[in-house]
Amino acid sequence: MSNHDVQCLWQVGAQLGEGPLWVAEQNRLYFVDLKNQTLHALDAANGERHSWVMPDYICWLIARRDGDGFMAGLRDGIARVWLEPELRIEYVARPFPEGSNLRMNDAKVDSTGRLWAGSMHNTDYAQAVGMLFRLDKDLTLTVADDGYHICNGPAFSNDGATMYHTDSFEGRTYAYPLAADGTLGESRVWRQFEGDTEGSPDGMTVDSEGCVWIAQWGGGRVCRYSADGALLQTVRVPARNPASCTLGGPELKTLFITTASEDNTPEQLKEFPLTGGLFAVQVEVAGVPAAR
C-alpha cells in the first residue's frame, strides 16, 4: 500500500492520539488525546465530530456489554464513564500509591469480558515499574505481570488462547498463553523490533484471520504480521508516530490509525503537517468486533 491509500479523517492535532474504539451500533469511532485530556468521537455516516474534555489524562475507552456507559482508563485508575446526558465518572480501581507518578496507558478486553490494562511511569520511561492489571467482572483487580517500562496493547488471538502485549521501550512484543480462568502462562518474545528501521511497537489489533496489526512509533507505519510474527503488509502513514490502530467501519475493513505530535522536532512537524491526525485506510481482511 502506498501513502495515497491513507486518508486523514480529522486533523485534530493530538499530542498523544490513542485508544481507537469502533462502536458499530453508533457507527462511530472513539479515540483519545491522552495528554490533552480529551475524548473524541467521529460519526462515520456524516463526519460529525464530538469532543469531551476530561478532568485528567484519558488513556482508553471500552464499551460495556450492557450499553450503560463505558469503562475508561484515567491517569490514576479505572473508572466507569457516562458521556450523556452529561459527563459522569465513577472510579472502580485506583491501584497506584499516592505520589508515585505512575499512570495507566493502554487496555483491551478479552472475549470473556475481563479487562487487561497496562501502566507505566509518567515521565521516566527507563524505569521498569509498569504493571499489567486484570480487572475481572466482579471488579477484582489483580497484577497479572510486572517489570514493564511502557505497557502497550494488549490484543488477543481469535481463539482466546494467546494474549499479545508490548513493552514499547524495549521494542518487544510478547505472547502469553491465556487460560480460560484468566491465568497467564510464561511469556515468550513474539517479535523483537529494530527501532532504527521499524520504529517501536505500540497499539495493536487482531483481524479475522488472526493476524496482528501493530502501529510503529517513530516508524511512520502500521504493519500486519502473521500469528508467528512474519511481516505480511505495511501501511505507510504520513506521520512519524502512529500510536494505535483498530479495524472498524460497516464491514470492519477500515483500519483507523491514531497518531501523536509529541516526540517530534519542528522540522519533522513541518515535514509531516498532518501529524497528530486520525487516519484511515481500507484493507482486504476484516477485523473482529471489539470485546466488551
Phi, then psi, of 112 in degrees rounded to 5: -90, -10
Task: Give the whole-angstrom CA distance, residue 265 versus residue 268.
Answer: 5
Q: Which H or E element spans position 267? A: helix 266-271
Instruction: State the catalytic residue, choosing from 202, 207, 228, 263.
Output: 202
Query: C-alpha angle with apex 174: 146 to 282, nearest 5 degrees?
Result: 125
Task: Give the whole-angstrom CA distance, residue 140 versus residue 117.
Answer: 13
Per the CB < 8 A criterion, the answer to whether 152 and 168 are in contact is yes
- Cβ contacts of 288 within 8 Å, gap of 6 or more: 158, 206, 207, 208, 247, 252
Query: C-alpha angle with apex 10: 195 to 263, nearest 5 degrees?
Result: 30
Task: Give the whole-angstrom CA distance, residue 71 versus residue 69.
Answer: 7
Determine whether 202 is an active site residue.
Answer: yes
Task: Give the whole-angstrom CA distance, residue 116 versus residue 182.
Answer: 10
Sheet with 77-82, edge to edge strand ranges: 58-63, 70-74, 77-82, 88-93
- CA 144 to chain centroid, in Å, comes to 19
Residues known to be catalytic: 202
